[in-house]
Amino acid sequence: MPRYARCSCGGWAMTDEPELLSRISGDRAKSFVEELSKIEMRVAGSERERSTADRIAEEFRKLGLDVALEEFPAILWEHGPSKLVMEGSGREFETQLMPYSPPVPEDGAKGKLGFLRFGYPKELSQLAEGPVIAIIDWNEDFGSIAQMLSAFVSGKNIAALGIISHLKEAFRVDCVPLLKKPVSFPVFSLTGNDGDKIKEFALGEKATARFEGRSEIIRGAVSANVVARKRGVSEPDTRILVTGHHDGWFSGANDNLSAVASVMEVARALADIETRRSIEFISFGCEESGAEGYYFYLHGSRQYMERHRDNSGKIGAMLNAELAGASNSEFLLVDCTPDLLPHFQSAFETIGKRPIFESKGYRLGVAIPPNTQADQIAFTWNGIPGGLIYWSWYDQYHSDLDTADIIESDRMQAFAELHLLSCLRMADAPVLPLSITGYSRVLRVGHSDVTTYLSSDMRKATMPGINQLRGIRCEDVDFDILEAAMDSLSKSAGRLEKVLSDSSEVERYNPLLLTACQILNRGLCRGGGIFGEDPMFPGYLLYLEELRKMEKAIESLVQVQGADLPRELKALLHPLFQPEVATKDFDVSDALNRLTETRDRLREKMTMEIRRLAACVGEADETLRNGMR
């Protein structure tokens, strides 16, 4: 019996996959999470992070894998207990310093309590009256609010910033970014219940408080990635990466020890199995923090890319894992590059029939393009086909409730089975499971798989393609050059697939397939957003609808030059020229000139973007044609 056969959706299925999938144990994975999560606050570059890495390396060695700890510099954060003390009453509230918060003055940060409902600038007038301990409700982008307050004209009067958690009985933390203009005051978390009580104090005109704590940022620390290697037998230079990260806040059971446990289950299942290609099982350090700048996080994966950049072209795929053991919903999701879409659809076809999925009603879905907030993005931006596997959102994220108690063995089982199947087929299928024809299809028609609401405020949006963008009917943008390049690429991809159907040519042409996909990914996969909701096409094409609106506004302005503006036109122009439209001094000619200049600049940038995309597609096409001569 042949070891592999084609699936109905075009992928490869292994004849003995059920036996290998039966090696996965969700209970064993949860036990590993329970063990590692006892090492709390595994901060980048800390001894706790390193002891976790050492334990993971030990487990890999037990499987007979070749293990290395690849060290790199990191920025460490150390802290102690902290509290908010109400002056006068002496009432104290326990707090949690936000990671990498600026130091607290030795005698504490003192000031009047100022409750800012949303952190809007109009609420900040109270900051001009003297030192204020500002309190705001949780906001997903609290870092930008901290930056805004720090840069505000009265920022010097902010003694400290408290963020009320959305969780009633738990803290919620995220890093304070280490940017060129750092936040100038300590930042801390309050539980939701304590936040409600403190709001009452903040209503009093003379309510004052003192924040106490210890926060220290230490440069020159060392972190490490744990890399366990399994050599392939026929294409050993090509390697598949199976990854997660072991640093984390509090116990960090689901984020992200659950993913490390999944990586370990995959390694255990494949340790004694020969595969065509090599596999690297990696546990990254410094995912949550460890560096300076806009990308102060994802530091360990970026360090891996820098260390292995010279041979990164041999990476067949990077299968990253996050949040493997808990969720608010039944969705198990994948964000991936378009070349991996058929691969994951094939895996879903198989895995969806597994007992754990049928009994629990778990649902599967793919979103394109890749998520930019996890470790695979450093690889995707360098062209490497990549996917992020994860359960959808869970309430305990980055909180002290993210303990081993919330990990579900059934979810771990389902997750690790998908992780294993994805790795197995990437590492051992005769033809590397990448699809350029699938890529072309996504570019043309977009992708819409998961559109169901995952929680009350998040959903996967669709990814528009060229056909949808053309439907906007903006006459100033010509997609013909890109369409022609895509037509040629589709023909070349079809020829390559025909060649690869001959088993004797597989090892010769697999590298060509990978190279072409890497060219496309480097040029096209720049979007993603925090949950893969951004459009695939980067740059100024996102503003095509705005360009069309500008054309309509310009046409209307031309018609009314020298006349009073009708109310309907004011309504149309209001978003473009606020607040000038509402005044009697609004100059139609000046508005027309400015709008025309903006239109022309945007049109030029869109034209350049289309040419860039066409050049990228053309480069991949030329690579295929030259490689098949």
Q: What is the pLDDT of residues 362-399, one digit of tens each?
A: 999 888 877 778 999 899 989 999 999 999 889 999 99
Cα–Cα distance between 435 and 442 in angstroms, integer? 11
Q: What is the pLDDT of residue 548?
A: 75
Angle of helix 409-428 relative to helix 258-270, nearest 10 degrees, comes to 50
Q: Identify the residue whose tokens are 């940022």.
A: 217
Angle of helix 506-524 relative to helix 436-445, nearest 10 degrees, comes to 30
Whether this model's pTM surpasses 0.85: yes
> Between the ranges 205-209, 427-431, 446-450, 565-569, where is the mean pLDDT highest?
427-431
Cα–Cα distance between 196 and 366 in angstroms, integer? 39
Q: Which of 171-180, 538-547, 573-582 has the lowest mean pLDDT?
A: 573-582
**For the segment 342-372, what is each residue's pLDDT rounded down to a tens digit?**
999 999 999 999 999 999 999 998 888 777 7
Q: Identify the residue whose tokens are 């122009």.
A: 573
Give strand pairing partners of 235: 277
Q: What is the pLDDT of residue 9?
A: 47
Contact 569, 560 (CB under 8 A): yes
Give strand pairing partners of 161: 134, 187
pLDDT score of 279 more than 50:
yes
Share above pLDDT 70 across residues of the chain, in percent, rounded to a whole number: 81
Q: How many CB atoms neighbour CB 454 within 10 A?
A: 20
The stretch 198-203 carries a mean pLDDT of 76
> Which letter does DSSP use for residue 162 in this model?
E
- For residues 504 and 576, the model is more confident at 504
pLDDT score of 269 more than 60:
yes
Residue 260, token pair as written in the block: 């490390």
Residue 379, token pair as written in the block: 């690889």
Q: Which of 245-249, 253-257, 543-547 has the lowest mean pLDDT?
A: 543-547
SS3 of 63-95: the string is CCCEEEEEEEEEEEEEECCEEEEECCCCCEEEE
Q: Can the peptide bond before residue 369 be classed as cis, meaning omega within 30 degrees of 0?
A: yes
Cα–Cα distance between 73 and 299 in angstroms, integer? 10
Cα–Cα distance between 406 and 414 in angstroms, integer? 16
pLDDT score of 336 more than 80:
yes
pLDDT score of 298 more than 70:
yes
Which domains are assigned to the chain? 4-77+219-434 (3.40.630.10), 81-213 (3.50.30.30), 465-629 (no CATH)
* Angle made by CA atoms 335, 314, 288, in degrees to the nearest 5: 45
**Residue from 116, 141, 120, 137 nearest 191 by CA:** 137
Cα–Cα distance between 501 and 595 in angstroms, integer? 55
Q: What is the pLDDT of residue 139?
A: 61
Radius of gyration of the chain (CA): 27
Give strand pairing partners of 12: 6
Angle of helix 567-577 relative to helix 588-627, nearest 10 degrees, comes to 60
**Residue from 413, 415, 472, 467 nearest 444 by CA:** 467
Cα–Cα distance between 279 and 267 in angstroms, integer? 9
**Residue from 358, 324, 417 nearest 17 by CA:** 417
SS3 of 495-554: the string is HHHHHHCCHHHHHHHHHHHHHHHHHHHHHHCCCCCCCCCCCCCCHHHHHHHHHHHHHHHH
Mean pLDDT for the chain overall: 86
Q: Identify the residue whose tokens are 């690429």.
A: 489
Residue 551, token pair as written in the block: 């054309």
Cα–Cα distance between 151 and 117 in angstroms, integer? 19
